[in-house]
Amino acid sequence: MTTPDIISTALANVGRHKLRSFLASLGVVVGTLTIVLLISLAMGIRAQINRQFERLGLDRLTLRPGTGGGAGGGMGGPFGADISGRRTKIIGAAEIARWQALPGVLKVTPEVGLPRSIALELSTRGRNQPVSSSLAENQLFNLINGQPRPLAGSLDLPDEGGLIATQGALQALGLANAEFPALIGQTFEVILRSPRGETQAFPLRLAGISVSSGRRAEVQISPATRIAMKSWWFNKTDLLQTEGYDSVTIRTADVRRAHELIPVFKGEGFRVESLEMIVEVADRILLAVTTMLALIASVALIVAMIGIANTMIMAIYERTREIGVLRALGASAGEIRRLFMIEAGFIGLIGGIFGLLGGWLAGVVLNQAIVWFLHSRDVTVEGKFFVVSLALALGTVAFATVIGTLAGVLPARRAAKLDPLVALRHE
């Protein structure tokens, strides 16, 4: 018998005993359904985590200048203003231009930290309000509070002479919310005050007003202006040439590109920070949990194997005479063995397909239920919690087929070993 003939004969045999084949495959259905549901849930949660982190800035990298010896020079952190460490690799305008040109890089935002001892005041119409300065692309801040939203104007800070203030800062100056739209474009003064009492005013145009929690009085100032402020403070005119920017935030097209760029920047001698570490830990935990759950679900498939083996042994007992006739007509033992193994494989395949469909459907229904539940708790979530990828679909169906075929090995061997004469006499 040719292989296609064996396959079509096996399929016909499975089709002739529809109910029995279906019942035998039920175990596989349950096992596959469980595996599909668990793995698709794990994949969905992984995608959710990635999406949430992406929104927070997983697609962003923070680069800092390389420092000799490492320790000591790294102080300052995300809020820091470190020019004290000896910089061996500075971030200048040339680096920024080069990175901006890299494929997959959307935006390069240089940051300049101000020394902590500088006191800042926001001034307009003769009123002064002490404010603190924040960085535009502050990952940690965004991670905790979410992306800042504009109340008026834009939160894209111009390179030079721009200012973004929180509503808290403006309210402290006695400005009402209703006035905010009209304030955009107006000039405010940011006054620097040294501990010795010297002051210097920097006139800046208000580019946008951000929503702030509570009465937090904060301003964001364009990097070029901050350089100017720092130059005044340290009384150095070539600060940008000698020290460069304090940090640079690089926004990439996606998480994967950010991941690819990390070793590139590290190789150049810059210090790189990203939120990816957190995601990696989450991934590792998720992988361990998924593996464990999949193993538990596999127990169902092993039970299913026993079911298929039992069905096949019964089928062989019932069809003993048929096996004898086939042997008398010239079927070899190998052909009989292959025929029964492929039949068992088909039972596994059918179970796998139904299990996949069932798992996918259950995922869709559960997804709706979860979204509905979260919605009722006022939590808005985009995307799915159950993701059935093509690889998962094909993989589980193939796995179920292999399980079925393996279950058929022993019964098929038994069928092949039957003495044709004994089989022909079987009633």
Partner 1 sequence: MNMPTDPSPGNPPLILGQNLSRRYGVGKSTVVALAGADFTVQRGEFVALVGSSGSGKSTLLNLIGGLDRPSGGRITVDGVSLGETTELELVRHRRTRIGFIFQSFNLLPTLSAVENVEVPLLLAELPKVQRRPRALALLEAVGLRERAEHTPNELSGGEKQRVAIARALANDPVLLLADEPTGNLDSKNGTAVLDLLCGLLRAKGMTMLIVTHDLQVAARADRKLTMKDGFIQAGEPPAFPTAAPNVS
Least distance CB 337 / partner 1 (angstroms): 13
Least distance CB 338 / partner 1 (angstroms): 13
Say whether residue 328 binds partner 1 (CB under 8 A): yes
Q: What is the dihedral of CA 217, 222, 223, 229, to 10 degrees?
A: -70
Residues 329-388 that bind partner 1 (CB under 8 A): 329-333, 335
Task: For 130, list phi and psi in degrees, rounded to 5.
Answer: -60, 135
Rounded to whole angstroms, the Cα distance separating 258 from 60 reads 7
**Mask of contacts with partner 1, 407-426, x by CB under 8 A?**
-------------xx--x--
Least distance CB 368 / partner 1 (angstroms): 44
Indicate the residue among 159 and 318 with the shorter CB distance to partner 1.
318
Task: For 89, list phi and psi in degrees, rounded to 5.
Answer: -140, 100
Indicate the residue among 205 and 414 with the shorter CB distance to partner 1.
414
Rounded to whole angstroms, the Cα distance separating 396 from 405 reads 14
DSSP one-letter code for 114: P
Give SS3 for 58: helix
Task: Give counts: helices (H), strands (E), the chain.
Answer: 14, 13
Among 1, 286, 289, 406, binds partner 1 (CB under 8 A): 1
Rounded to whole angstroms, the Cα distance separating 97 from 18 reads 69
Closest-CA residue to 139 (of 274, 289, 310, 336): 274
Total binding residues for partner 1 by CB under 8 A? Answer: 21
Among 175, 204, 219, 326, binds partner 1 (CB under 8 A): 326
Rounded to whole angstroms, the Cα distance separating 275 from 278 reads 6
Indicate the residue among 15 and 70 with the shorter CB distance to partner 1.
15
Indicate the residue among 118 and 333 with the shorter CB distance to partner 1.
333
The alpha carbons of the chain give a radius of gyration, in whole angstroms, of: 34
Q: 73 to each of 65, 87, 243, 312, how far by Cα in Å?
A: 10, 8, 13, 73
Residue tagged 């690089």 (tokens)? 250
Least distance CB 401 / partner 1 (angstroms): 24
**Mask of contacts with partner 1, 281-320, x by CB under 8 A?**
----------------------------------------
> Which range in 76-84, 124-132, 215-223, 325-333 contacts partner 1 by CB under 8 A?
325-333
CB–CB of 253/259 below 8 Å?
A: no
Give SS3 for 236: coil
> Which range in 247-255, 327-335, 348-356, 394-402 contacts partner 1 by CB under 8 A?
327-335
Least distance CB 283 / partner 1 (angstroms): 52
Indicate the residue among 328 and 369 with the shorter CB distance to partner 1.
328
Least distance CB 33 / partner 1 (angstroms): 31
Give SS3 for 339: helix
Indicate the residue among 95 and 343 with the shorter CB distance to partner 1.
343
Say whether residue 16 binds partner 1 (CB under 8 A): yes
Indicate the residue among 199 and 332 with the shorter CB distance to partner 1.
332
Indicate the residue among 145 and 332 with the shorter CB distance to partner 1.
332
Beta partners for residue 127, in sequence order: 124
Binding site for partner 1 (CB under 8 A): 1-2, 5, 9, 16, 321-322, 324-333, 335, 420-421, 424
